[in-house]
């Protein structure tokens, strides 16, 4: 089934975007990324030295995975804009996952600083993929500001709580004209499948894989889950019914089970 | 990853057991079964004529899928036992999916009749796979009676409501020494993944696939979902946390995202 | 608002039935029972000596609360029937809360033994109020056996998990011709309100009150919650809507907020 | 139990704040407000003519309920600030429930315009009570801007979906130094009780009462529910447990139930 993810005109065969934080070693990370089948992976610019050997960038290069620099660790629009520009120079990409965090306890995005930074970066020619809360209004304003996608959270980063408010994700999906990427909070495969069933175009996760007991196996689980959820969305699920419905032989087969 | 499902000493490569009810045509059914990768599929004995041409049995034969006769449509232990025996004679298998339904509105199993029928059939040498409610006590009694698996519902047959009480499924899994198969109520891929994450050994579904808008695509979704959920269970998911947890560079990589 | 609870022809002004287990002292229990406004309270016959002074029976007598003996601690129909008869003799009441437990870890009722005991006790002239799981089929069979009420659990005794499967409770309520009492698992006031909103006729709880940090205050909370939930049920709640609905001045007032 | 709600130094005996939109008639509204026991009620300034007879203001005056003007129907900070000033002049109060809505379909607040308006109004001496989404970061910024309370939604206005994301409400409550009022989305009594159990200081609702089949009865239900939830919060509920816990006679009473 040909069903590529398209962001800002670029095409990706996988709808699973990976992060790299939390992996116990480079070897484990490489195995997990390979198992995930991802074609796009975020790297925190504030933590990486692009010139060093043995870095996460080497791993991504070896695996043929496109790098998506992010601005993790930035608390103001100014910091985030500066970090994005440094990333552009160092990595020769104008794509950026925009994170502007309000505080270290929740790592929740600051809506005001985020929108401000997004507007500045779009004006400066960046392809901006903002990590946002699950507010449909803010998601729409980010899209109006020219962002190439919107990336609402399911729950706080690293919490593993899954999608706390599926209703909001549905509201975002219904209105968005750009891809919606569920970013943050996923803990297990069914969470990723649900994100896709709600209509998200892709899923971004890191901790759920890198901190699982078996990262490569969980990466494979997530790969299957994203495929499963996407297919289920396209396949048109049965409606939910209050009561049972038997397999009715007179409506279909003369025999069933 | 070698990870077969074993029931009563028989090995299956797929953990997705299919039902056949509700399919709009034999062609659609065949495509869906093939896409699902199933190796074991239920057929309602009260609705099938084993000698007829073009029946569901022909489809299963062509696909190389093992037939699991069921007693759908039986309301008493006596009816179910009789139906199981007829199936054994007609299909030359001593396996039976045991259904004893209380009423047509809910299609919920009758616990009293079910246990009675299970005891009779086990005594008579059947390999009994009972469709039960999600009561941990009844599941345990069915196992004690000699059933080869227990098959608790997620929600009423055909309802698409998913797993209404995950806590009960976990209690059943924790205690069971025989395979636990989540049977009935699943509506979409994330439901199937969740069943496996809760520790079920397999999933049985029909309507979610046969009545989906695109049955073959949903069958494929379910196949991936069962794999995803099984892998996630084995991979050891991250714990749920109340607050965020950053990708901590000092705990792992010197760079992350 | 006159809205009494009627069980087996007896009328109660309060829809909150209390248990007595878990209280740290008799004084605390008495305060809590008084604050709850209950008119009917269960006492475990296997733990009480009806002739002793300072017992829970004295407390109930002082408070003018009717005693409902229960068969807590019984694991078979035989034990439960015997205990019920002892209670009848000792307390001069033919009412009994029937508990037949499958194991000590879950304290879940054994459906087979429960129905057996219920049938025996009804035959012997008892007014039987059975503690059952949330299976709509078993609830209906207990009613058919002549029970004066059915008392499905919300979740395991003392777990505080609330109502794990509201859908099942609704199915039970829809069909029942006798009062439905939500029994076991409630943890806080909103749980009790929800039980009543689902259509239960009363709520039975013990641990949520007796083990709360402030038992008398929680008893008062539960009293208000049961009233609130009952009123809300009768008042006819607004439907759930996917989207917002403004206060529409043209539909009602020329001004609003 | 003396337990008043204090907002900006003013004390209220009731923790139920009412809205007035959606009532079918002034008589029904008056009965409902009386039954609710509210001492503070919002009125939409864009819909009311303070000088007219028979208006909602007359009802509130008759009932001795304090008027809280709101800026419902405003889509920009400028509109909201202007409306607040008109309300201050007309009603001689510097209190305002601040609503700045993004669109008519969801009626969700616009976080950017909302914060802007809040800052302007605080600077101008208003006591600002902002209706906000459930984002903990925005709630904190509104408090930092000098708002006298924060009023997060449970779900979209009039939806009756209850509290979609209890986790966010808890995060807001944990951090807030000003009262937290759950505003919007509540549908029935258990929703209101839950809001209070999560630690909210008060509840604001309109549609759930005014559009119920019996508004006055639902108002009374909500009154009891808010009391129940508040008491339960203060009483210290039992922890949630995975397994059952019997009433243990050796830990407490020598008898129980």
pLDDT digits (tens, 9 = 90+) for A202-227: 999 999 999 999 999 999 999 999 99
Predicted local distance difference test score (pLDDT) of residue A247: 58
Neighbours of chain D (3+ CB pairs under 8 A): A, C
Of C15, C97, C141, C233, the active-site residue reads: C97
Residues of A with CB under 8 A from a CB of D: 102-103, 106, 108-112, 115, 133, 135-138, 140-141, 155, 161, 164-165, 167-168, 171
Burial zone of D4 (CB within 10 Å; 0-12 exposed, 13-18 middle, 19+ buried): exposed
Predicted local distance difference test score (pLDDT) of residue C249: 44
User: Do the strands A40-44 and C181-183 form a parallel or antiparallel pair, or are they unpaired?
Assistant: unpaired
CA dihedral B192, B193, B195, B199 (to 10 degrees): 150
Report the candidate in D234, D233, D222 with the shortest Cα–Cα distance to residue D37: D222
Predicted local distance difference test score (pLDDT) of residue D47: 66
Query: Residue A61, annotated ligand binder?
Result: no
* List of chain C residues whose C-beta atoms are within 8 Å of the C-beta of residue B172: none
Per this entry, what is the length of chain D?
257
Q: Which residues are bridge partners to B130 per DSSP?
A: B98
Asked whether the beta carbons of residue D218 and residue C207 sit closer than 8 angstroms, the reply is: no
- Structure tokens given for B238: 């991250």
User: Which of B103, B140, B165 lies closest to C164 in CB terms?
Assistant: B165
Assign B2 a pLDDT band (cuts: 50, 70, 90): confident
User: Which of B110, B115, B136 lies closest to C137 in CB terms?
Assistant: B110
Please tell me the distance from the alpha carbon of residue A181 to that of residue D79, in angstroms, as a whole number: 34
Asked whether the beta carbons of residue D112 and residue A109 sit closer than 8 angstroms, the reply is: no
The pLDDT tens digits of the residues spanning B212-257 come to 999 999 999 999 999 999 999 999 999 998 887 765 443 333 333 4
Report the candidate in D201, D126, D204, D194 with the shortest Cα–Cα distance to residue D166: D194
Q: Which residues are bridge partners to C152 per DSSP?
A: C132
Query: Residue D22, annotated ligand binder?
Result: no
C244: pLDDT strictly greater than 90: no
Predicted local distance difference test score (pLDDT) of residue B47: 65
Of A14, A15, A87, A97, the active-site residue reads: A97
Report the candidate in D110, D84, D109 with the shortest Cα–Cα distance to residue D97: D84
The pLDDT tens digits of the residues spanning A176-212 come to 999 999 999 999 999 999 999 999 999 999 999 999 9
State the average pLDDT for chain C: 91
The pLDDT tens digits of the residues spanning A33-72 come to 999 999 999 999 876 665 565 688 989 999 999 999 999 9
CA dihedral A190, A191, A197, A201 (to 10 degrees): -130
A77: pLDDT strictly greater than 80: yes
For chain A, the C-alpha Rg in angstroms (whole number) is 19
Asked whether the beta carbons of residue A218 and residue B231 sit closer than 8 angstroms, the reply is: yes
The residue assigned the tokens 């520009």 is: A85
User: Which of A191, A235, A243 lies closest to B105 in CB terms?
Assistant: A243
* List of chain A residues whose C-beta atoms are within 8 Å of the C-beta of residue B228: 189-190, 192-193, 221-225, 228
Provide, rounded to the nearest whole percent, the portion of chain B with pLDDT above 70. 92
Number of C-beta neighbours around residue B66 at 10 A: 15
Q: What share of chain A is helix, strand, coil (3-state, %, to 5)?
A: 40, 15, 45
Report the candidate in A160, D61, A163 with the shortest Cα–Cα distance to residue A152: A163
The residue assigned the tokens 């794990």 is: C164
Residues 6+ apart with CB under 8 A from C44: C20, C21, C69, C70, C72, C73, D247, D255, D256, D257
User: Which of D106, D137, D141 lies closest to A136 in CB terms?
Assistant: D106
C129: pLDDT strictly greater than 60: yes
Overall average pLDDT of the A149-161 stretch: 94
Shortest distance between the Cα of B45 and any Cα of chain A, in A, equals 8
The pLDDT tens digits of the residues spanning D132-162 come to 999 999 999 999 999 999 999 999 998 999 9
Shortest distance between the Cα of A86 and any Cα of chain D, in A, equals 27
Q: Which domains does chain A have, with CATH numbers?
A: 5-235 (3.20.20.70)
Of D15, D97, D223, D230, the active-site residue reads: D97
Query: Residue D95 belongs to what H/E stretch?
Result: strand D95-98
Asked if residue C21 lies in contact with residue D246, where contact means CB atoms within 8 angstroms, the answer is yes
Binned average pLDDT, 10 residues per bin, chain D of 257 residues: 91 96 91 96 77 78 94 94 93 95 92 97 98 97 98 94 95 96 96 98 96 97 98 95 65 37
Buried/exposed code over D11-39 (b: 16+ C-beta within 10 A; e: otherwise): ebebbbbbbbbbbeebebbbbbbbbbbbb
Query: Residue A206, annotated ligand binder?
Result: yes
Asked if residue A21 lies in contact with residue B253, where contact means CB atoms within 8 angstroms, the answer is yes
Distance of CA A233 to the CA centre of its chain: 17
Please tell me the distance from the alpha carbon of residue A168 to that of residue A160, in angstroms, as a whole number: 18
SS3 C222: helix
Asked whether the beta carbons of residue C164 and residue B161 sit closer than 8 angstroms, the reply is: no
- Structure tokens given for C115: 């129905």
Q: Which residues are bridge partners to D129 per DSSP?
A: D97
Predicted local distance difference test score (pLDDT) of residue D46: 73
Residues 6+ apart with CB under 8 A from A232: A193, A196, A197, B188, B189, B190, B218, B221, B222, B225
Assign C242 a pLDDT band (cuts: 50, 70, 90): confident
The residue assigned the tokens 């028989």 is: B10
Overall average pLDDT of the A124-148 stretch: 97
* A240 in catalytic set: no
User: Which of A157, A160, A235 lies closest to B217 in CB terms?
Assistant: A235
User: Which of A70, A108, A197 lies closest to B257 in CB terms?
Assistant: A70
Predicted local distance difference test score (pLDDT) of residue C30: 94
Overall average pLDDT of the C222-230 stretch: 98
Residues 6+ apart with CB under 8 A from A161: A154, A155, A185, A187, B240, B241, D167
Neighbours of chain C (3+ CB pairs under 8 A): B, D
Asked if residue A175 lies in contact with residue A140, where contact means CB atoms within 8 angstroms, the answer is yes
Q: Which residues are bridge partners to B139 per DSSP?
A: none
* List of chain D residues whose C-beta atoms are within 8 Å of the C-beta of residue A137: 102-103, 106, 108-111, 133
Asked whether the beta carbons of residue D158 and residue C227 sit closer than 8 angstroms, the reply is: no
CA dihedral D223, C157, C163, C66 (to 10 degrees): -40
Q: Which residues are bridge partners to D66 per DSSP?
A: D40
Asked if residue D33 lies in contact with residue D59, where contact means CB atoms within 8 angstroms, the answer is yes
* List of chain B residues whose C-beta atoms are within 8 Å of the C-beta of residue A49: 255
Asked whether the beta carbons of residue D164 and residue A168 sit closer than 8 angstroms, the reply is: yes
Instruction: State the maximum Cα–Cα separation within chain C, in Å, rounded to a whole number.
Output: 69
Buried/exposed code over A204-214 (b: 16+ C-beta within 10 A; e: otherwise): bbbbbbbbbeb
Angle at A197 (CA atoms; ends A193, A200), nearest 5 degrees: 95
Asked whether the beta carbons of residue B111 and residue C136 sit closer than 8 angstroms, the reply is: no
B137: pLDDT strictly greater than 80: yes
Predicted local distance difference test score (pLDDT) of residue C255: 39
Nearest-by-CA chain B residue for C100: B137
Nearest-by-CA chain C residue for B167: C164
List, as one string, the DSSP characters of chain B: ----EEETTEEES--EEE--TT-S-HHHHHHHHHHHT-SEEEEETTT--TT-TTSHHHHHHHHTPEEEEE-TT--SHHHHHHHHHHHHHHH---EEEE--BS-TTT--B-HHHHHHHHHHHHHTT-EEEEEE-S-HHHHHHHHHTT-S-BEE-SSSTT-----S-HHHHHHHHHH-SS-BEEES---SHHHHHHHHHTT-SEEEESHHHHTSSSHHHHHHHHHHHHHHHHHHHHH-PPPP-SS-----TTTS-SS--
Asked whether the beta carbons of residue D237 and residue C24 sit closer than 8 angstroms, the reply is: no
* List of chain C residues whose C-beta atoms are within 8 Å of the C-beta of residue D106: 243-244
Please tell me the distance from the alpha carbon of residue D72 to that of residue D76, in angstroms, as a whole number: 11
Shortest distance between the Cα of D74 and any Cα of chain A, in A, equals 15
Q: What share of chain D is helix, strand, coil (3-state, %, to 5)?
A: 40, 15, 45
* List of chain A residues whose C-beta atoms are within 8 Å of the C-beta of residue B106: 243-244
Query: Residue C44 belongs to what H/E stretch?
Result: strand C40-44
Asked whether the beta carbons of residue A137 and residue D167 sit closer than 8 angstroms, the reply is: no
Binding residues of C are: 158, 184-185, 206-207
Structure letter (DSSP) for residue C187: -
Nearest-by-CA chain C residue for B105: C171
């Amino acid at each position: 089934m040909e069903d590529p993810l398209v962001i800002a005109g670029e095409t990706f065969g996988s709808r699973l975007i990976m992060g790299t934080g939390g992996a116990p070693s480079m070897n484990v990370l490489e195995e997990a990324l390979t198992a995930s089948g991802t074609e796009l992976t975020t790297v925190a610019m504030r933590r990486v030295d692009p010139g060093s050997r043995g870095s996460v960038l080497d791993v991504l290069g070896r695996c043929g995975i496109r790098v998506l620099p992010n601005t993790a660790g930035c608390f103001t629009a100014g910091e985030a804009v500066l970090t994005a520009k440094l990333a552009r120079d160092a990595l020769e990409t104008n794509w950026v996952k925009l994170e502007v965090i309000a505080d270290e306890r929740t790592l929740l995005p600051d809506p005001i600083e985020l929108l401000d930074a997004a507007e500045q970066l779009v004006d400066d020619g960046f392809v901006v993929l903002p990590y946002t809360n699950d507010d449909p209004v803010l998601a729409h304003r980010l899209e109006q500001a020219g962002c190439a996608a919107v990336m609402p959270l399911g729950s706080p980063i690293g919490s593993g709580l899954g999608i706390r408010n599926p209703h909001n994700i549905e509201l975002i999906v219904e209105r968005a004209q750009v891809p919606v990427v569920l970013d943050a909070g996923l803990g297990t495969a069914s969470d990723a499948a649900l994100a896709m069933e709600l209509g998200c175009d892709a899923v971004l996760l890191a901790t759920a894989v890198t901190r699982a007991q078996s990262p490569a196996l969980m990466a494979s689980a997530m790969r299957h889950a994203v495929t499963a959820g996407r297919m289920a969305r396209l396949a048109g699920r049965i409606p939910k019914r209050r009561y049972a419905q038997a397999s009715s032989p007179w409506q279909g087969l003369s025999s069933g089970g």
